[in-house]
Amino acid sequence: MKQYIRKADIILLIILIIIGVASTIFVVQSKSGGDTVIIESNGKLYGKYSLYEHHEITVEAQDKAHSHNVVIIDNGKVFVAESSCQNQVCVQHRAISRTGESIICLPNRLVVRIEGKGGGYDTITS
C-alpha cells in the first residue's frame, strides 16, 4: 500500500500554520492605539480631542434643522451615544480606540476618527 502523506508534508504543514499564526499576531499588534479624536461635520473640522480625557460632545449639523449627534470619549475609547438619524448605525457601532478606525453617520454627515501621534495619512498617491 502506498503512503500518500509523508513526514515532510506534515512538517511543511506545521511550518505553514506557524507562519500564518505569527503573521496574524503581528498584524493585530501593529495597529497602534491612537491618541487624538478628530470629529468632522459636513466635511469640515469640528474639533480635535484627546482620547484620554473624558468628553461629551454634542455636534449640531448647521445645514439641517434638528440634526445632532452626541459623541462620548471615555477611558481611551470613543463612541456615538445618540443620533437624530433614522437608521442609528453610528450608535450601534462598537467603540473605537485604534489609529485609523472611524465611525461615520452618513445622514448627519458626521465622521469620527482616531489618529495616532504622527497624524495625517500614511501615504498619498496621485
**Cell 445645514 sits on residue:** 63
pLDDT on residue 14: 95
Place of cell 497602534: 32
What is the average pLDDT value for the chain, to the nearest integer?
86
Confidence at 30, pLDDT banded by 50, 70, 90 = low
Strands 36-41 and 110-115, bridge-based pairing: antiparallel
Residue 72, pLDDT score? 96
Residue range 68-82, pLDDT digits in tens? 999 999 988 999 999
Q: Residue ranges per domain, the chain?
A: 36-115
Evaluate the CA torsion angle 111, 117, 119, 121 in order and state its sign.
negative
- Give me the torsion for CA of 88, 93, 96, 99, rounded to 10°: -90
Q: Does 16 or 1 have the greater pLDDT score? A: 16
Q: Report the distance separating Cα 80 and Cα 12, nearest Å.
A: 47
CATH code for the structural domain at 36-115? 2.60.320.10
CA distance 109 to 103: 11
Reported as a pLDDT band with limits 50, 70 and 90, residue 104 is very high
Give pLDDT, residue 1. 54
**Which tops the pLDDT comparison, 92 or 32?**
92
Q: Which residues contact 77 (CB under 8 A, 6 or more apart)?
A: 51, 95, 96, 97
Residue 64 banded pLDDT, cuts 50, 70, 90: low
